[in-house]
Amino acid sequence: MLVFVINCGSSSIKYQLFDMPARRQLARGLLERIGEAGSAVLTHRAGSAVLTHRAGEGKWILELDAPDHRAGLDHILRALVSGETAVIDDLSRIRAVGHRVVHGGEEIREAVVIDDAVEAVIERCAELAPVHNPPNLVGIRTARAVLPGCTQVAVFDTAFHHTLPKKAYLYALPLELYERHHIRKYGFHGTSHEYVATEAARLLGKPLLACNLITCHLGNGCSMTAIEAGRSVDTSMGMTPLQGLMMGTRSGDLDPAVLVHLLRNGWVSDVAELDRLLNRRSGLAGISGLGNDMRTLEEHMETNERARLAVEMFAHRVRFYLGGYLALLGRCDAVVFTGGIGENDSLLRRLVLEGLEPLGLSLDPEKNAATVRGKPGAITTSASRVPALVIPTDEEGMIAASTYELAK
């Protein structure tokens, strides 16, 4: 069965085509700048969308007119079946479409076949994830129109965290705010945390339900999860993806009174500006002044104090949560690093793990430095009581697997 996986953003569509159940990837790509007429990029003509399409060893970068997501998806599907970019001969071979959806609230706790009722839940949850759920919903409605014969499946970032106990997901606010308005911690990156937890259990030679793990998804967005007996029991992100670790452009944890202080003194003009400050202008970018790319910051650490500070703050926050989750679990079978930074940044992993021998983590500098991109492996010594593993995530593969199981 061919399964098409879509991750739809406000002006982008990320996609992969899988042959299931072998999970063999036939094509993948990213269409950017949908509907952004007039926002010229120096290397591209004004108003053009850019499709980067990969199949086998081939890579194509195409400039296209995509005024909306419907036009964008038409271009992507055309690339799959026509010309030198083609990997299949007819779109009828695609039998199912899997959609990444960020927020399912309390109503949806697992992957589901999409119907009008599911769409309605996703739309209601847009209040909780205003940046993510609306474009996710656009992708769903577009795919249902363009590929009407396919089973459409939604896989939710929040689903893996539905096992959080009440003591972990409630905020210390008047309980009525939860009961009436569902103000609570939901957690995100669930598909990634579930995937690397499953892989960690396999590498450890234990059933997942026998494993206590701490998974660290570190990228432009960052979250950590405490997993007890294979189930999420606490996670760093909250009602929205803003809570928790310091991230690329998000602040993560801060004193709530800071928000009141900013508004009361007029240092931000309104709620919209406050939202931009916390989600777009903070984190690594806000501290460093050099942007949100960890590689750039590490290149400038020796000569730029703000870059060094940003990197050190980032590592400090990860260590803080790591210590807390070790205490929460009591017994930990492994710490897992994943995501763009977690998988590829040996310096950051060293800053997080150095000096944690009293907590059972003994870093092996040579293994850490030699970890090959895309390959799982341990970065701690053989004597380390708690192994630390690097495991590349595969969210799209997990979405494809969930979609296949429901569609078959």
pLDDT confidence of 374, banded at 50, 70, 90? confident
Q: Is the pLDDT at 107 greater than 70, yes or no? A: yes
Q: What is the pLDDT of residue 43?
A: 40
CA-closest candidate to residue 162, choices 202, 104, 209, 208 = 104
User: Mind listing the pLDDT tens digit for each residue in 231-245?
Assistant: 999 999 999 999 999
Cα 73–Cα 74–Cα 76 angle in degrees, nearest 5 = 60
What are the φ/ψ torsions at residue 97 (nearest 5 degrees)? -125, 125
Share of the chain above pLDDT 90, in %: 89
Inter-axis angle of helices 305-329 and 346-353, nearest 10: 60
The CATH homologous superfamily of the domain defined by 2-156: ATPase, nucleotide binding domain (3.30.420.40)
Adjacent-strand bridge partners of 151: 96
263-296 burial, b for 16+ CB within 10 Å, e for fewer? eeeeebeeeeeeeebbbeebbbbbbbebebbbee
User: Mind listing the pLDDT tens digit for each residue in 53-78?
Assistant: 999 999 999 998 999 888 999 999 99
Q: What is the pLDDT of residue 127?
A: 84
What are the φ/ψ torsions at residue 206 (nearest 5 degrees)? -130, 155
Q: What is the pLDDT of residue 130?
A: 81
Q: Is the pLDDT at 42 greater than 60, yes or no? A: no
Q: How many C-beta neighbours within 10 Å does residue 298 have?
A: 16
User: Mind listing the pLDDT tens digit for each residue in 244-299?
Assistant: 999 999 999 999 999 999 999 999 999 999 999 999 999 999 999 999 999 999 99
Identify whether 115 is a catalytic site residue.
no
Q: Is the pLDDT at 44 greater than 50, yes or no? A: no
pLDDT confidence of 396, banded at 50, 70, 90? very high
The whole-chain average pLDDT of the chain stands at 94
Q: What is the pLDDT of residue 385?
A: 97
Residue extents of the structural domains in the chain: 2-156, 206-390
Q: Is the pLDDT at 40 greater than 50, yes or no? A: no
Q: What is the pLDDT of residue 283?
A: 97
Q: Which fold has domain 206-390?
A: Nucleotidyltransferase; domain 5 (3.30.420)
Higher confidence at residue 174 or residue 39? 174
Catalytic residue among 157, 234, 333, 345: 157
Task: Please state the rounded mean pLDDT for residues 309-332.
Answer: 98
Q: Is the pLDDT at 11 greater than 90, yes or no? A: no
Q: Tokens in use for 371?
A: 């970890």
Q: What is d(CA 109, CA 66) in angstroms, rounded to the nearest whole number? A: 34
Task: Please state the rounded mean pLDDT for residues 16-37.
Answer: 91
Task: Please state the rounded mean pLDDT for residues 39-60.
Answer: 71
Shared fold status for 2-156 and 206-390: yes
pLDDT confidence of 132, banded at 50, 70, 90? confident
Q: Is the pLDDT at 155 greater than 90, yes or no? A: yes
What are the φ/ψ torsions at residue 32 (nearest 5 degrees)? -120, 160
Q: How many C-beta neighbours within 10 Å does residue 311 have?
A: 22
